[in-house]
């Protein structure tokens, strides 16, 4: 399992998390149904306005799902921040997770965050029936080659 996600979308998630700190930030990245490709960044209001909890406002949630339905989209990524703990699903996250096909992306804005090579602590998980599985995150500049295996991509030096 792997989340392939564009760098600009990762930057949007991180910026939202930093902007809302010390409260948790949350949102989705919608993408075409069946594509597993996050495309449309949709930051959501944390109706709980809390450093330890997040919840989409119920009216916003209905509008979001109607809009995605109308566009043939699903929530490919559901993200939120942890402001004092690591970027790993909490027990509450696990018990409330209800999109078995989504990538649950967590970003930590804690002081002692352990940044990856890109300078932030961001991880992705599947949460299905209470079981959490971490997955690799591949940050790409474009999805142009995302649907082809490594063997299908022409050797860039071949024509030189």
Residues that bind other proteins (CB under 8 A): 26, 28, 44, 48, 52-56, 58-59, 61-62, 65, 74-75, 78, 80, 89-93, 96-101
Residue 62, token pair as written in the block: 């209905």
Minimum distance from CB of 61 to other proteins (Å)?
6
Minimum distance from CB of 25 to other proteins (Å)?
12
Q: Is the dihedral of CA 148, 154, 155, 157 positive or negative?
A: negative
Three-state DSSP class for 57? coil
For other proteins, which is the closer residue by CB, 1 or 153?
Answer: 1
For other proteins, which is the closer residue by CB, 59 or 149?
Answer: 59
Minimum distance from CB of 35 to other proteins (Å)?
15
User: How would you write 5-53 as a 3-class SS string?
Assistant: EEHHHHHHHHHHHHHHCCCCCEEEEEEECCCCCCCEEEEECECCCCCCC
């Amino acid at each position: 399992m792997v989340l392939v996600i564009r760098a600009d979308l990762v930057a949007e998630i991180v910026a939202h998390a930093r902007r809302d700190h010390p409260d948790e930030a949350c949102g989705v990245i919608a993408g075409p149904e069946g594509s597993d490709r996050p495309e449309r960044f949709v930051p959501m209001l944390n109706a709980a306005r809390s450093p330890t909890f997040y919840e989409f406002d119920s009216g916003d949630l209905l509008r979001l799902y109607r809009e995605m339905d109308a566009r043939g989209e699903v929530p490919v990524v559901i993200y939120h921040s942890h402001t004092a703990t690591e970027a790993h699903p909490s027990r509450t996250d696990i018990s409330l997770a209800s999109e078995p096909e989504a990538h649950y992306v967590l970003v930590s804005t804690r002081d002692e965050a352990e940044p990856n090579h890109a300078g932030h602590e961001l991880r992705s998980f599947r949460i299905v029936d209470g079981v959490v599985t971490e997955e690799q995150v591949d940050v790409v500049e474009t999805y142009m080659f995302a649907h082809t295996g490594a063997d299908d991509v022409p050797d860039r030096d071949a024509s030189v």
